[in-house]
Amino acid sequence: MERRWDSLLFVVCLILSFAEIVNGGITSSYVRHANFSLDMPLDSDVFRVPPGYNAPQQVHITQGDHEGKGVIVSWVTQDEPGSKTVLYWAENGGLKKLAEGFILTYKYYNYTSGYIHHCTIEDLEFDTKYYYEVGIGNTSRQFWFLTPPKPGPDVPYTFGLIGDLGQTSDSNRTLTHYELNPAKGQALLFVGDLSYANDYPFHDNARWDTWGRFVERVAAYQPWIWTAGNHEIDFAPEIGERQPI
């Protein structure tokens, strides 16, 4: 008799433990539709090149150190290298400072990149709004970001989480959903598969540029922290591209 009670108890516990694992609840009314959506066409407004000669485009920031006092600002200029500096200032601090970056270019099959700028800003104050400016003269562009609070136990900080974004109309909906989310992500963890440029013939790297312009509206204002996915693997020996990434 005692054995029967033991096994009954075991079964009940098993059912309860499964019930707890399985019942995740519904956190969103979103229902994914069955079909793949197509990439937005090249003349879509989200891909528009900012006006003016050599205007900085694809502006984005990421974390520049391990404690939150550094930010790396990146952007692309298409016509010539242009200015390598970032002008930045704290909202209430007044004094404007300059940081100098560096420029890279690359080729991929028949594609040649624009001038890719990276510039690290250091020694920022915690929990502070900074404005920053890239470019020269009437094509300079201004953005802002907030530094995180000083690290410590129980310091609140809200991360967004996006992966497999791509550049379809659904990608645009995803980004808008993130922008409008009342939870207000302060930094974004990107879990891989960014532009899906590698789905195009010859991995058309111009689709990296459209993607960079598409995400600027969020990525220029808060750090995106990157992981590479399988779509970032650009190994294509049939067109002479043997570097994996």
Binding footprint of Fe ion on the chain (CB under 5 A)? 164, 193
User: Nearest to residue 194, comparing CAs of 204, 206, 208?
Assistant: 208
Q: How many CB atoms lie within 10 A of CB 145?
A: 21
**Shortest Cβ 48–Fe ion spacing (Å):** 27
User: Closest approach of Cβ 188 to Fe ion, in Å?
Assistant: 16
For Fe ion, the closer CB: 164 or 234: 164
DSSP type of residue 35: S
Q: Of 39 and 193, which has the nearer Cβ to Fe ion? A: 193
Q: Which is nearer to Fe ion, 190 or 214 (CB)?
A: 190
In the complex, least distance from residue 191 CB atom to Fe ion, rounded to whole angstroms: 9
Smallest separation (angstroms) from Fe ion to the CB of 206:
21
CA distance 92 to 95: 9
CB of 33 or CB of 66, closer to Fe ion: 33
Question: Closest-CB residue for Fe ion?
Answer: 193
Instruction: Report the residue number, 164 or 241, with the smaller CB distance to Fe ion.
Output: 164
Q: Is 38 helix (H, G, I), strand (E, B) or coil?
A: coil
Give the count of beta carbons closer than 10 Å to the beta carbon of residue 142: 12
Max alpha carbon distance in the chain (Å)? 88
Query: In the complex, what is the shortest distance from the CB of residue 194 to Fe ion, in angstroms, rounded to a whole number?
Result: 10
What is the C-alpha R_g of the chain?
23
Q: How far is the CB of 230 from Fe ion (least distance, A)?
A: 6
Nearer to Fe ion, 193 or 209 (CB): 193
Question: CA–CA separation, 125 vs 116, rounded Å?
Answer: 27
8 A C-beta contact, residue 78 and residue 49: yes
Nearest to 211 by CA among 6, 25, 47: 47
